[in-house]
Amino acid sequence: MDLELKDKVVLVTGGSDGLGAALVRRLGAEGARVALCGRRAERVEAVAKELAASGADVIGVAADVTRTADLERFIGAAVERWGRIDALVNNAGRSAAGPFEAQSDEVWEEDLQLKLHAAVRATRLVLPHLRAAGGGSVVNTLAVSAKAPSGGSTPTSVSRAAGLALTKALSNELGPDNIRVNAVLIGLIESGQWVRKAEQQGIALDELYASLSSGVPLGRVGRAEEFADLVAFLLSARGAYLTGTGINLDGGMCPVV
């Protein structure tokens, strides 16, 4: 299936590790022009070099998405390089969940800045470029806790629920501009955070995944490549009639459709 992503300019925040890195590899393989950013300059450079070596047209920018100036620099670099923007993936984030009474104001503020306000700012900054291109696509990476928050899931579940509301509101507002806005809500997916958790607990990664996936109907952990495939589809011409939806990528674990 031709996704018709060749030469499309796609920006991916949090694109230097885990799900984001899998996505930029997929987009590069499809012939898209990819701009990725992340906080760790060495990791951004490594992923950008890897993609360039495979023949992809790519730029990597070390940036903290919670800083407006960094986002402006990231987006500006893409426009300077290619003269347009066709899509944005708001993927930056990290796990921050625990007992409600243990979460300070600072923890709440940091989480909302990273997962909500950064997406708001990045989307606002790319809108003129998407309109100039005749339309485009925005995909927000969220979590199934946005639909079905469990105890001990704050502040992440609240930040992600706000991201889901943002997705729906923008899909309605930007539809007339031919700009589609969707969300992918992940469940248990392979990522660096689980690798680090296994190391902290002194157990094998496979053992951790086995224990975590016991409540997943499909009985396994999702792969980062499966996330990349879904997002690439949502960004593509094949997903041209999809907007305002939040798709669970969770092996069936979320009790909410």
Q: How far is CA 160 from CA 64, 89, 193, 204, in A?
A: 19, 15, 18, 30
**pLDDT level of residue 93 (50, 70, 90 thresholds):** confident
149 DSSP 8-state letter: P
* Beta-strand pair 97-98/154-155: antiparallel
Four-residue CA torsion sign, 184, 148, 98, 187: negative
pLDDT at 104 over 80: yes
Query: In the prediction, which pLDDT does 56 show?
Result: 98
The Cα-based distances of 194 to 15, 128, 189, 215, 254 in angstroms read 18, 38, 9, 17, 19
Residue 193 pLDDT class (50, 70, 90 cuts)? confident
What mean pLDDT value characterizes the chain? 96
CB distance 115 to 164 below 8 Å = no
Which pLDDT does position 197 carry in this prediction?
85
Residue ranges of domains in the chain, CATH in brackets: 9-187+224-245 (3.40.50.720), 190-221 (no CATH)
Q: Where are the alpha helices (DSSP H) in 102-155?
A: 105-112, 118-132
Percent of the chain with pLDDT over 90: 91
How do residues 213-227 score in pLDDT, each as one tens digit?
988 999 999 999 999
Question: Per residue in 46-87, pLDDT tens?
Answer: 999 999 999 999 999 999 999 999 999 999 999 999 999 999
Mean pLDDT throughout 233-255? 97
| pLDDT of the residue at 171 | 98
